[in-house]
Amino acid sequence: MAEKQKLEEQLLSPDYLESNEWKLIKKVEDYAKDRLNTVAHGFDHTERVFQNSLIIGLTEHADLLTLLTAALLHDVGRDIEIAIGADHADASAHEAKDFLKSVNFPVAKIKRVFEAIHGHRSSREGKHAFLESRILSDADKIDSLGAIGIARVFTFGGKINRDVQDTIVYFKKRLDKVMMQLHTDRAKRMAEERYNYCVSYLKRIEEETANIK
CB closer to a second copy, 38 vs 124: 38
Alpha helices in 143-184 (DSSP H): 146-159, 164-181
- Per CB under 8 A, the list member of 103, 129, 147, 169 interacting with a second copy is 147
Q: In whole angstroms, how close is the CB of 177 to a second copy at the nearest point? A: 20
Q: In whole angstroms, how close is the CB of 185 to a second copy at the nearest point? A: 20
CB closer to a second copy, 158 vs 189: 158
Q: How far apart are alpha carbons 153 and 145 in whole angstroms?
A: 9
Residue 65 and residue 24 in contact, taking contact as beta carbons nearer than 8 Å: yes
- Per CB under 8 A, the list member of 6, 8, 176, 196 interacting with a second copy is 8
Q: How far apart are alpha carbons 167 and 155 in whole angstroms?
A: 10
Q: In whole angstroms, how close is the CB of 15 to a second copy at the nearest point? A: 15
Site for a second copy in 77-136 (CB under 8 A): none
Q: How far apart are alpha carbons 20 and 25 in whole angstroms?
A: 9
Q: How far apart are alpha carbons 86 and 43 in whole angstroms?
A: 20
Per DSSP, the residues of 17-64 read S-HHHHHHHHHHHHHHHHH---SSSSHHHHHHHHHHHHHHHHHHT--H
- Stretch in the footprint of a second copy (CB under 8 A) among 101-109, 132-140, 178-186, 196-204: 196-204
Q: Between the CA atoms of 103, 106, 108 and 114, what dihedral angle is there, to the nearest 10 degrees?
A: -40
- Stretch in the footprint of a second copy (CB under 8 A) among 16-24, 109-117, 129-137, 144-152: 144-152
- Stretch in the footprint of a second copy (CB under 8 A) among 19-27, 88-96, 109-117, 142-150: 142-150
Q: How far apart are alpha carbons 161 and 89 in whole angstroms?
A: 22
Site for a second copy in 164-183 (CB under 8 A): 164-165, 167-168
Where on the chain is the footprint of a second copy (CB under 8 A)? 8, 11-12, 38-40, 42, 44-45, 47-48, 51, 146-148, 150-165, 167-168, 194, 197, 201-202, 204-205, 208-209, 211-213
